[in-house]
Structure 1
Amino acid sequence: MGKFYIYNSNIDNRDYKNATVIFNPNITFDFNALQNELSDYFSNHHQTSAIIFLHCSTINKVDLLIAANFNKIFKSIPKAEEISLSENIFHVSYYKDSYQFSSKDKFIKRHFKEIINQGLANIFIKNGGLVESNGISHHYVFPSGKHSSKFLRTANVLTNKSEIDFIALNTLHQFKGIDFNNIYCDTLSINVIAYSITHYLDRFGNSKSINIESFKSYNGIYNENSIFYEDSIFLISASTSGGIIYYLKDKHPEIDSKNICILYYLPIDKNSHLALESVICNLLLHDKLKYGIEIYAQFKVNQKCVFCENNSSPIKIIGDSFSLDEPIINTRNIIAKKYITKPIKDFVETFKFNNKTGTSLKVSYSEESTIRKKYNLYIDYENIIENISEEQYKTHREKIDAYVDQFVPASLKYIIYLNDKGSLLLSEYIHERIKKYSNNSIQIINQSDLNENSITKDTPGSVLIVGSCITNGKNLLYLSRFFRNHDNIRLIYFIGINRISDSTKQRELKSNIKYGLYGAENSSFIEIENIFCDNLNISTPWENELEHLKDIQSSLDKSSTFIEKRIIIINEFSNIKNKGGTTEIFYGDINENELKIRKNSAFFNDNNYFENVTQSDVYFTISCVLTNMRNNKIDGLFQTNFVKNLLDPLIFNRFNDGIIQASILRASKNEELNYSISYKSSENMLTLLKTFIKHRNEYQGEAIIEFLYALSIGKLRLFKDHYRILIEELNDTNDKKINIFNTSINTIYKNSL
């Protein structure tokens, strides 16, 4: 919950392709908070061509304030960006009725409506304003009688004060010149917008009391007893037709259309001119600027609904609520043909353990050269490229050589590599291969050393941008922006492993960095390998485990040797020699034997993996399989507010290797193992847990400690009554290793609903 609302906006402008907008809803600047919020923001978003501050007109000399705090505010910006950034900072002040621009801000003024619309759309989309079902199990029925598998729900997005204030300010500007004493909202949830509007009015000298009420959408309109005061404005949360405006006008002709606004509008039925005049944010997909929502199917009262015909359950939307007692819960299984794909098997086959080089697939590590959280899955590309001549990497080496020969041009003058050792080694490998064929003296430059004097704007030729692995492409976007005014330079992006989590994000990245002076294919993008990995920028399962174990240890009267040993093992993952965990990443069995995979596993191409893989190789495979499931919005693990997809507990019976079970537990997300929301699933899980406890000294229960650990951190959750049965079972075992997590599990039980 930040003090500022920060977002990126694309702009149809030659000099400024995009901008980072910083909206300050307050009457002062908290620069310490801004520094932290920008650091968090730029850890997940790329730097843009400009920074635009939107600030209250009551703040004096904003330019001097920003200049005085420049180094503090933009500490997270790469060095190569600092000079150009300082020259491209703009300030726009807001008043009660409008924004005010300086003469320097002409390009902003021209594009400002679109910039604001993107900010409003961003709030809606990122906060889940578009509620979706797959249309198979259920769909939605609106108050107007229309049926659809999706709908707009503004209530979902009003969670952050700075974002609420941003919506409210732009809504207030919609009513410029209108004197009002009453604000009517179509649903209770958007009353917060109305209250924010009154705060702005107070700030700008209007101290009168404003009455705020809800008129309950269509029900309030059709109610003949509804009375609306003349000096009123009306806020409509969302609409796909603008029909509610016509209904208001028809039933209450005394209301002027200028006094009505729709916060969020998606013109599915038709593009109503009356509605568009009243819209704060148009959500319609903007192909050129790449934001918005695609039109989706709706079925009117007099039309056949394809969802109903396919026996999909209709859920009525009543105001802000649903006629739904509990979420729809599905259990999902790992279907081999669908999710354990050949690309995953082939990738792991190439980079898994071998006796000469070890494994390149590791866990819980981050490059020394990068200031970021650890990777859950870490691909040690330095190890790969240092041993590229080994037979293990023959396929990868041949692909690199072929792509270098095909795509690296004779005009190459510079190789710029991302700031990690693997990227440097890949750059040197490429340079060694091409230098004998080139007439140019090719310079190799670290991205962090790049500045405006490194390559002049009028330099002709080609630049090869080399990355070992990319997780989100942020650094490539930095470089794309850096070269935006180098019209004579052709860029070729050359990536060893593209591990961005899904195809949509991969397409978006490629589209953004390839686009330029000559259109969508201005630059080239080459990737040697491609795999979908979970790249969320949060603490890894092992960092979470470390904190949990320290908490347990500190609560004990006598330190546990078992816990102390485990803490040492996890800390060793950070050792620069290890560069992540490969073995002992899971708890062993009850006799402290390491979990190993048996023969005939569905997760590998053949049995050659047997005794030739590390635990991290197995975990990497399982994690990628679960990522595939999350990317499936139809019948996978994709979650919505009203549909919860759980991993079927019987997966742990079907895949009975302890190492597979442990991998699933570690790689899954909390909501995928939350069986507390389904009595039947919890009952199935409890039955399995009792079996694992009973057979803890046999292979059937070899992962019991991993299951108990998952229960102790609240990742694996049961129905409350089932905890009591489980705890009784655990108390009867009288085994120190089994009971080490008992207190934590008891705490979870007591705090359960």
Structure 2
Amino acid sequence: MARFFSFNAIDSCQTTGIHFDALCLTYGNDEDVSSLQFFGDLESSIKKCKVLPDCLVVMASAALATKLHDYWCADHTQQKTIVNRGTKSEFLFIKSYYFYAWCVTKLELIASHVLATQSYDISIEKLIQQGLRYLLEVNEVIQIAPAGHLFKHPSGTRSKVFIQAREMARSEPELFFVANAICLRMGRVLQDAEMVFIDTMGIYHYVREALKAAGNKARIESFHSYGEEMKKLSPPIDSYICVISASTSGGMAGELVNNLGFDPNKVVTLIDVTEKNRCGSVLMPLDTLGEVYVGLLEKGMGTETEIELVGEHFSSKAKPPRTVALGVPHQPKLLGEFLNHFALLGVGKLNSNFGNGPANPKLLCLDASPLTNNLEFTQWLDDEVAWCITLAVDHVIHASDPTSKVIAELAAKRIQEFRQTTIPPAVISHDDLCKESLGNAKGILVVTAVAGDGGGLREISRDLREYICTETPRHFLAAVGLPQTAESWARLKQFLERNPTKRKYGFSNWLMLPVGYDGKDSAWEQLNKLAKKAEGGETAAVEGIDQEIVNESLEQLAQLVFKSHQGFLPKHNGGELALTEGFVFFGGKFETEIQEMKIASSVVYLAIASALQCARELKDVNNQLKSTGYESVVLAPECFLRFNDNILQACLLRACHSSELDYSASPHLSKLMQEFLTKVFDRHSHKYGDAALEFAAALAIGRLKLKKDDLDDVIKFAIARLKHQASPLLGFLLLARR
């Protein structure tokens, strides 16, 4: 069970105006936290940060906050460990530690540990609002209707947004945080109230916890939001408060205040799209929480399809999934150019890492060294220096890899030529970056050859905040970007460009190709876990199959998975999966190389993965491979017939999200996949079934899902054909049984 939750917040000091990043840890009520647990929580939270924060804020009940501060003061060894984790190159990054206690109407600072000369004057209310926004996003409280649709609420209101306030908290610390946030807004009214009205029992736990924090045991009474019961309400003689779960129009609060006579000072709505022209208070107005919620108040055109809401429950499984067939419209615009430069030399094996040995392998790894001799790239670099990069640059910082260093030296040489000076800008590796190495820098250029979601660039940007003043111009140059999504790349650009001054820092990029999820829970890692389970666990007897065959099949499975970690599972005869001519996303290129088997499997995977990601981000919603709260979307089963090369089928199975291969909600789609898989397993020793191991593996790890009856029929049929001889395919099918 969760003991705490953490979130990151950005604010500026109320005294100096200096911007800072805060890491906030908030604990549940009455938690029994030991000293070892507390310091472990601090360390794990700091480790998860993409960049080191400027300060750390701990929020807890008064008793627990005092206890945690006592731990901090008493254990100097553990305290030093945490301080060292917030230090880099002997320079303090985490400069302050603050301990706050919830005290009904305020969050009181009970102690601080300031290591720098200047502490931060924190607006704790702004941090709490960012914490609430974090909960809205991570718990998927807000559902936005897909294009061409509007939600029709029980009140009759039609809007783009559906708010599930009951989902705000999914753990005890989150519940405690939300309840105390309510207290901060309405604490005195809660303390005095003898009755609390709520519009739904879905928020009962928030209100009960808020009353507990206020030291009150008032009675809670629920009324139906829109119906005859609400019209019977009238303000009681005794003190009261009315809590509304969520609203998109402010209609309920307006009805209570304007027509039923409730005091607006005793009415609070937890979530609303805005607080403008609303009766009562709004705890979380969405239009103040970021650009993603802008436009929620826009009226429809009158031609949208209505999604009628009944009650609070809402699920995309309420309707059959929509299918999307991958094709030419989903080809990324820059894929062809990307392949021209990297298809033959630049893409390494899957789950490898150029230059850093086996450490920190990446699903897709790019060797950017050919860039330094690439005429198109060097011409682009010349143009960027001439048109976009400030001539104030006198220091060039590069990521800690050889190619980034060469590009940085090229850029420094071009800057020197344009400045017509004999002194080139200093070129510094990120490993050597410190306050002394920058001296009196007048301008900074940061260079990296390849960036994913930009963790390295974020780290350099964070370091620069400590070493040079904010007003010093800086420019970030990422030659090639391989982010997971276009959105994550946009967030990186925003992070690097924005600063407290009125101007933006510069950002340049030559090629960028979103390639989808490349995290630690990839299909390869899921298979490794399955193989370890098959290798080490005791196997239950399987009726009708000799136990030795079962054990041998699982052992062969484990060996094959470990052997294939940098590629795909082989064909039945042990041969590698291969591509044939005519692959649509290659656009007629590399035909000779395909015949000569010179195209690496990782290049094929990159093409499929980028096409799938393009499908998820496509503007045409009818052809978009993206599920919403209203509608689930899956890859059309016909794709496995369209892309019938064994390696393409394997790439689809590995690069798709699990939800995109979940056919269990549609009897029709599940039956189509059952028929296809039956043929694949039946012909596993022929060309048609070359990818049989990949399909069986996808079933075994749960990436490919069918209705239970269909899955049972497929497995029963295949096992009956394979049970007389041990094989990895039999092993996967045995593990795929439910």
Name the TM tier (shorter chain). 0.7 to 0.9
Instruction: Mark the runs of 5 or more structure 1 residues left unpaired by the alignment.
Output: 300-304, 572-580
Counterpart in the other structure of 1:20:
23
The answer on whether the counterparts of 1:139 and 1:314 sit within 8 Å (CA) in structure 2 is yes
Quote the Cα distance in structure 1 between the aligned partners of 2:579 and 2:705. 26
1:676: how far off?
Answer: 0.7
Let me know the Cα RMSD of the aligned residues. 3.5
Quote the Cα distance in structure 2 between the aligned partners of 1:550 and 1:667. 22
> Does structure 1 residue 241 correspond to structure 2 residue 213?
no
> Does structure 1 residue 262 correspond to structure 2 residue 266?
no
1:434: how far off?
Answer: 5.8
Q: 257-266 vs 652-661, which deviates more?
A: 257-266
> Does structure 1 residue 491 correspond to structure 2 residue 500?
no
Q: 1:451 aligns with which of 428, 434, 437?
A: 434
1:238-281 superposed Cα distances (whole Å, 9 cap, x missing partner)? 1223221222235643x4333221111212xx822533xx1212
Counterpart in the other structure of 1:606:
588
Counterpart in the other structure of 1:133:
145
Q: 116-125 vs 731-740, which deviates more?
A: 731-740
1:84: how far off?
Answer: 3.5
Counterpart in the other structure of 1:662:
650
Alignment of structure 1 residues 598-677 onto 2, 5 Å: 598-609=580-591, 610=594, 611-632=597-618, 634-635=621-622, 636-677=624-665
1:566 is paired with a residue of what secondary structure?
Answer: helix
1:517: how far off?
Answer: 5.4
Alignment of structure 1 residues 161-172 onto 2, 5 Å: 161-172=172-183
- Structure 2 vs 1, CA of residues 149 and 709 (structure 1 numbering), >3 Å: closer, same or farther? same
**What is the one-letter code of the residue matched to 1:264?**
I
Q: 2:57 aligns with which of 47, 52, 61?
A: 52
- Structure 2 vs 1, CA of residues 218 and 452 (structure 1 numbering), >3 Å: closer, same or farther? farther
1:170: how far off?
Answer: 1.3
Counterpart in the other structure of 1:111:
123
Counterpart in the other structure of 2:545:
none
Q: 1:476 aligns with which of 427, 450, 457?
A: 457
The answer on whether the counterparts of 2:104 and 2:184 sit within 8 Å (CA) in structure 1 is yes
Q: 2:322 aligns with which of 322, 330, 346?
A: 330
1:314: how far off?
Answer: 3.0
1:71: how far off?
Answer: 4.4
- Structure 2 vs 1, CA of residues 225 and 180 (structure 1 numbering), >3 Å: closer, same or farther? closer
Q: 166-175 vs 606-615, which deviates more?
A: 606-615
Quote the Cα distance in structure 2 between the aligned partners of 1:661 and 1:74. 50
- Structure 2 vs 1, CA of residues 538 and 657 (structure 1 numbering), >3 Å: closer, same or farther? same
Alignment of structure 1 residues 299-698 onto 2, 5 Å: 306=301, 309-310=303-304, 312-318=305-311, 320-322=312-314, 326-336=318-328, 338-354=329-345, 359-365=346-352, 374-381=361-368, 383-384=369-370, 388-389=372-373, 393-404=374-385, 406-407=387-388, 410-431=391-412, 438-440=421-423, 442-456=425-439, 459-484=440-465, 486-487=469-470, 489-516=472-499, 518-521=501-504, 523-554=505-536, 555=538, 558-560=551-553, 562-563=556-557, 565-570=559-564, 581=566, 585-609=567-591, 610=594, 611-632=597-618, 634-635=621-622, 636-698=624-686
**What is the one-letter code of the residue matched to 1:165?**
F
The answer on whether the counterparts of 1:332 and 1:645 sit within 8 Å (CA) in structure 2 is yes
State the number of aligned residues.
701
1:331: how far off?
Answer: 0.7
The answer on whether the counterparts of 1:532 and 1:627 sit within 8 Å (CA) in structure 2 is yes
Quote the Cα distance in structure 1 between the aligned partners of 2:699 and 2:223. 46
- Structure 2 vs 1, CA of residues 741 and 599 (structure 1 numbering), >3 Å: closer, same or farther? closer
The answer on whether the counterparts of 2:552 and 2:727 sit within 8 Å (CA) in structure 1 is no
- Structure 2 vs 1, CA of residues 677 and 82 (structure 1 numbering), >3 Å: closer, same or farther? farther
The answer on whether the counterparts of 1:167 and 1:193 sit within 8 Å (CA) in structure 2 is yes
1:667: how far off?
Answer: 0.5
The answer on whether the counterparts of 1:589 and 1:703 sit within 8 Å (CA) in structure 2 is yes
The answer on whether the counterparts of 2:395 and 2:441 sit within 8 Å (CA) in structure 1 is no
- Structure 2 vs 1, CA of residues 258 and 405 (structure 1 numbering), >3 Å: closer, same or farther? closer
Counterpart in the other structure of 2:193:
180
Quote the Cα distance in structure 2 between the aligned partners of 1:94 and 1:325. 40
Quote the Cα distance in structure 1 between the aligned partners of 2:45 and 2:119. 28
- Structure 2 vs 1, CA of residues 163 and 446 (structure 1 numbering), >3 Å: closer, same or farther? farther
Quote the Cα distance in structure 1 between the aligned partners of 2:556 and 2:111. 68
Quote the Cα distance in structure 1 between the aligned partners of 2:229 and 2:29. 36
**What is the one-letter code of the residue matched to 2:588?**
D
1:641: how far off?
Answer: 2.9
1:601: how far off?
Answer: 1.1
**What is the one-letter code of the residue matched to 1:628?**
C
- Structure 2 vs 1, CA of residues 71 and 687 (structure 1 numbering), >3 Å: closer, same or farther? farther
2:438 is paired with a residue of what secondary structure?
Answer: coil
The answer on whether the counterparts of 1:140 and 1:151 sit within 8 Å (CA) in structure 2 is yes
TM value normalised by structure 1: 0.83
Quote the Cα distance in structure 1 between the aligned partners of 2:42 and 2:706. 36
Quote the Cα distance in structure 2 between the aligned partners of 1:370 and 1:257. 65
**What is the one-letter code of the residue matched to 1:281?**
M
Counterpart in the other structure of 1:190:
203
1:142: how far off?
Answer: 0.8
Quote the Cα distance in structure 1 between the aligned partners of 2:651 and 2:450. 23
Quote the Cα distance in structure 2 between the aligned partners of 1:509 and 1:431. 24
1:660: how far off?
Answer: 0.6
1:287-332 superposed Cα distances (whole Å, 9 cap, x missing partner)? xxx5661132565xxxxx646x35x2432232x1259872451111
The answer on whether the counterparts of 1:375 and 1:540 sit within 8 Å (CA) in structure 2 is no
The answer on whether the counterparts of 2:398 and 2:408 sit within 8 Å (CA) in structure 1 is yes
**What is the one-letter code of the residue matched to 1:83?**
L
TM value normalised by structure 2: 0.85
1:639: how far off?
Answer: 2.0
Quote the Cα distance in structure 2 between the aligned partners of 1:737 and 1:295. 62
The answer on whether the counterparts of 1:101 and 1:109 sit within 8 Å (CA) in structure 2 is no
Instruction: Mark the runs of 5 or more structure 2 residues left unpaired by the alignment.
Output: 540-547
1:116 is paired with a residue of what secondary structure?
Answer: helix
1:542: how far off?
Answer: 1.6
1:459-495 superposed Cα distances (whole Å, 9 cap, x missing partner)? 2422221222222223433433443451563212111
The answer on whether the counterparts of 1:6 and 1:41 sit within 8 Å (CA) in structure 2 is no
1:537: how far off?
Answer: 3.2
% identity of equivalent residues: 19
1:48: how far off?
Answer: 3.6
Quote the Cα distance in structure 2 between the aligned partners of 1:417 and 1:292. 33
**What is the one-letter code of the residue matched to 1:348?**
L
1:643 is paired with a residue of what secondary structure?
Answer: coil
1:427-451 superposed Cα distances (whole Å, 9 cap, x missing partner)? 3454566667653364433334433
Quote the Cα distance in structure 2 between the aligned partners of 1:741 and 1:191. 52
- Structure 2 vs 1, CA of residues 251 and 372 (structure 1 numbering), >3 Å: closer, same or farther? farther
**What is the one-letter code of the residue matched to 1:646?**
V
1:708: how far off?
Answer: 0.9
Counterpart in the other structure of 1:302:
none
> Does structure 1 residue 8 correspond to structure 2 residue 8?
yes
1:10 is paired with a residue of what secondary structure?
Answer: strand
